[in-house]
Amino acid sequence: MAYAAWDEQGSAVVAGAGIHLRTLSAAAAERGCSGLEFAEGIPGSLGGALVMNAGAYDGEIGPLVEWVEVLDLPAAASGNPSSISRRRLAHEELGYGYRRSALQGAHLAVLEARIRLRRGDPAGIRRRMAALSARRRERQPLEYPSAGSFFMRPPGYYAGPMIEQCGLKGYRVGGAEVSTKHANFIINTGGATAADVLAVAEHVRCAVMAKFGVELQPEVRVIGEGC
């Protein structure tokens, strides 16, 4: 469900998992609520962000979450409606870390969450969002379809520069290519298949391991392609 119910003070919101992050961050800015500026350019829904602890430019969703309402999928799949379990998980139960949470692999469907923000000047918030948007346009290949940053940041390193130092900018399989603007983006230059993208990713992973001895881990979740 895509909805957002703001409290009377306007510094917290209960939002449905289906609401788009950009929609939520824009609504927060209009209400003078700061904290979601980083989410302005992140594609996807609040539900996905809660599961993956989505973030960008030194901001993450995890620290803002007070609680998450979930549905127990194994119970729902039993076919007995009376056994369906709806639970509320408090912040300390969610285990947020860099691109991870206790929601991953837990067979739970995220329904909604309460997000705590802080009061701020709407004009200032919009300026920060505009600055981040300009930074994205300058540094990221937004003119091509992609899944965003493909690999997580290894401890002590940055994936993009490592991939670039391997000479892989422009490396391609079919229509999938390592972006020449930002090496941690695998873009679709036209007609790329999932197999093309995964082949590029595997080549990048092997090249970085050979050069740096570092195992890159994907930030994206691959579903239905044998992974």
Q: How far apart are CA 222 and CA 143, in angstroms?
A: 23
Residue 135 falls in the annotated catalytic set: no
Catalytic residue, from 11, 25, 60, 99: name it.
99
Number of H helices, E strands in the chain: 6, 13
Sign of CA dihedral 185, 188, 192, 193: positive
Amino acid found at 173: V
Instruction: Using only the alpha carbons of the chain, give its radius of gyration.
Output: 19
Contact 33, 119 (CB under 8 A): yes
Q: How far apart are CA 50 and CA 65, in angstroms?
A: 8
Residues 6+ apart with CB under 8 A from 75: 83, 84, 85
Q: CB count, 10 Å around CB of 50?
A: 25
Residue 11 falls in the annotated catalytic set: no
Residue 219 falls in the annotated catalytic set: yes
Joined tokens for residue 213 = 């001895």
Joined tokens for residue 120 = 């701020």
Joined tokens for residue 159 = 């994936």
Q: CB count, 10 Å around CB of 115?
A: 24
Catalytic residue, from 25, 45, 146, 149: name it.
149
Joined tokens for residue 69 = 């309402």
Residues with a known catalytic role = 99, 149, 219
